[in-house]
């Protein structure tokens, strides 16, 4: 009788654990490309219809099915961005160059400094660059007017909000910065003493997601308040959806999916560490590079809603904001086609079940 009861109880625990960890995401590989060289950066249009990638000296443009549109040699490329409609591509090297899908040059501005990061405004009228002279630059493509502002250290990552009102950047010394479109600095947040390797901002700038070489992901409000931070494995790049409900992180060895509360929703395993990522407006099409390979995935999600309200955050200037929130140490792993949510209750039920079985066996 005891054996029957133990079998029944163990089965119950396993079923309960499985139900709590039910799958809520699926990923389908659309295409895989191998340019044969290390991919330095990727970008994707708002709709996901166009995907771009760069190696050290070549830019590639693909459609959503993986068909090659353009392959063009260009010197010493460091970073890139793509317009919302996918028709224009901004290349960062010694200065900035704006090209169309056929790689014809539309505008450029040469510099003796290397552009470490770059972004194109949604209206395609302004280009921004974080140069290795410890400054951020704004270029008016139509009038050639240039603005600059001090960043105090090299800005390694940069992104513009979809509405064009905010520019977020991450620096070599671990600071996260927010500027308005006129390059007035709103605040500086000291996240770490190691490089901020990736940064992403929502459409209206109400949330800024960043990752750094200290194995941490950060989510901040538009006012510079830390909403949460989380330990992950070797993050290199990050993307947040336009509305802010989904966050994708390039980690070792693959992609990690979070909601805007920092809870893990799934994980895609790759054979090599992911180094750069880009996502469409809703984070349903993801482009990711892993050394010399480019992958493009489509994602389906059951129900992810934005539970953090930052729209009413005070937007006043704050020069330096001290971090007060503690870091979480969760991590998650699932397979590359069925992304499963790892839930704490399942682990607790399994633990209590194991303790109960030990007590019975002792009797």
More confident residue, 9 or 101: 101
> What is the tens place of the pLDDT at every residue in 16-38?
332 223 345 788 999 999 999 99
How far apart, in Å, are the Cα atoms of 11 and each of 7, 15, 20? 6, 6, 14
Q: Is 332 helix (H, G, I), strand (E, B) or coil?
A: coil
Q: Which of the two residues, 306 and 241, has the higher pLDDT score?
A: 241
pLDDT score of 271: 87
Residue 335, pLDDT > 80, answer no
**pLDDT value at residue 201:** 98
pLDDT exceeds cutoff 60 at 129: yes
Compare 23 and 74 and report the one with higher pLDDT.
Answer: 74
The pLDDT assigned to 26 comes to 85
Q: Give the Cα separation of 338 and 257 in Å (integer).
A: 13
pTM: 0.80
Tokens of 321: 């904001």
The predicted pLDDT at position 24 comes to 59
**Residue 232: CA count within 13 A, CB half-sphere:** 36
Contacts of 31 (CB under 8 A, 6+ apart): 62, 65, 66, 295, 296
Which residue has better confidence, 349 or 192? 192
Lowest mean pLDDT of 74-78, 290-294, 343-347, name the range. Answer: 343-347
pLDDT at 296: 97
Check the CA dihedral 92-96-98-99 and report its sign. negative
When pLDDT is averaged across residues 234-256 and rounded to a whole number, the result is 95
Distances (CA, A) of 316 to 29, 167, 180, 186, 319: 43, 16, 12, 7, 10
pLDDT in tens, 282-296: 999 999 999 999 999
Q: What is the mean pLDDT of the chain?
A: 82
- Sign of the alpha-carbon torsion through 234, 342, 328, 167: positive
Q: What is the average per-residue pLDDT within 217-234?
A: 97
Q: Is the pLDDT of residue 340 over 70?
A: no
pLDDT band at 87; cut points 50, 70, 90 = very high
| Mean pLDDT confidence for 152-165 | 96
- Tell me which long-range contacts 98-103 makes (C-beta under 8 A, separation of at least 24): 98/127, 98/141, 99/59, 99/72, 101/50, 101/61, 101/69, 101/70, 102/70, 103/59, 103/61, 103/70, 103/72, 103/74
The DSSP bridge partners found for residue 289 are 276, 294
Q: Give CA–CA dist 36/131, Å, rounded.
A: 28
Query: What percent of the chain is modeled with pLDDT above 70?
Result: 76
- pLDDT at residue 124, as a whole number: 95
Quote the pLDDT of residue 303.
52
The confidence score (pLDDT) of residue 280 equals 96
Classify residue 6 by burial, with Cβ atoms within 10 Å: 0-12, 13-18, 19+.
Answer: middle
Q: What is the pLDDT of residue 300?
A: 83
pLDDT of residue 302: 55
In terms of Cα–Cα distance, which of 89, 95, 77, 85 is closest to 41? 77
Mean pLDDT value across residues 221-233: 97
pLDDT of amino acid 188:
97
Q: What average pLDDT score do residues 156-162 get?
A: 96
| pLDDT confidence band for 144 (50 / 70 / 90) | confident
pLDDT at 116 over 70: yes
Q: Tell me which of 76-90, 98-112, 235-249, 343-357 is least confident.
A: 343-357
């Amino acid at each position: 009788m005891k054996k029957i009861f133990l079998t029944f109880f163990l089965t119950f625990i396993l079923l309960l654990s499985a139900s709590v960890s039910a799958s809520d995401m699926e990923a389908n590989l659309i295409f895989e490309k191998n340019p044969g060289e290390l991919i330095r950066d990727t970008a994707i249009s708002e709709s996901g219809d166009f995907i771009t990638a760069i190696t050290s000296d070549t830019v590639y443009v693909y459609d959503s099915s993986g068909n090659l549109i353009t392959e063009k040699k260009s010197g010493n490329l460091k970073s890139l961005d793509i317009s919302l409609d996918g028709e224009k591509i901004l290349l960062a090297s010694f200065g900035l160059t704006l090209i169309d899908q056929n790689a014809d040059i539309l505008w450029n501005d040469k510099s003796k400094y290397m552009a470490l990061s770059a972004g194109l405004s949604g209206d395609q009228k302004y280009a921004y660059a974080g140069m290795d002279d410890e400054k951020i630059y704004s270029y008016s493509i139509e009038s050639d007017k240039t603005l600059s502002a001090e960043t105090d250290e090299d800005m390694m990552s940069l992104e513009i909000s979809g509405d064009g009102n905010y520019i977020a950047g991450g620096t070599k010394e671990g600071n996260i910065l927010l500027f308005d479109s006129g390059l007035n600095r709103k605040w500086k947040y000291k996240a770490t003493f190691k490089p901020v390797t990736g940064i992403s901002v929502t459409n209206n700038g109400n949330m800024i997601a960043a990752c750094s070489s200290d194995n941490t992901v950060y989510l901040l409000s538009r006012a510079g308040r830390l909403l949460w931070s989380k330990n992950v494995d070797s993050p290199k790049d990050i993307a947040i959806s336009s509305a802010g409900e989904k966050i994708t992180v390039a980690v070792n060895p693959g992609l990690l999916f979070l909601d805007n509360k920092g809870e893990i929703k799934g994980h895609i395993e790759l054979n090599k560490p992911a180094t750069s990522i880009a996502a469409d407006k809703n984070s349903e099409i993801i482009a990711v590079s892993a050394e010399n390979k480019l992958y493009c995935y489509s994602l389906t999600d059951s129900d992810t809603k934005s539970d953090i309200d930052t729209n009413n955050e005070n937007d006043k200037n704050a020069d330096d904001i001290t971090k007060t929130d503690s870091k979480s140490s969760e991590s998650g792993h699932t397979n590359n086609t069925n992304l499963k949510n790892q839930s704490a209750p399942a682990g607790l039920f399994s633990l209590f079940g194991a303790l109960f079985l030990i007590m019975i066996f002792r009797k």
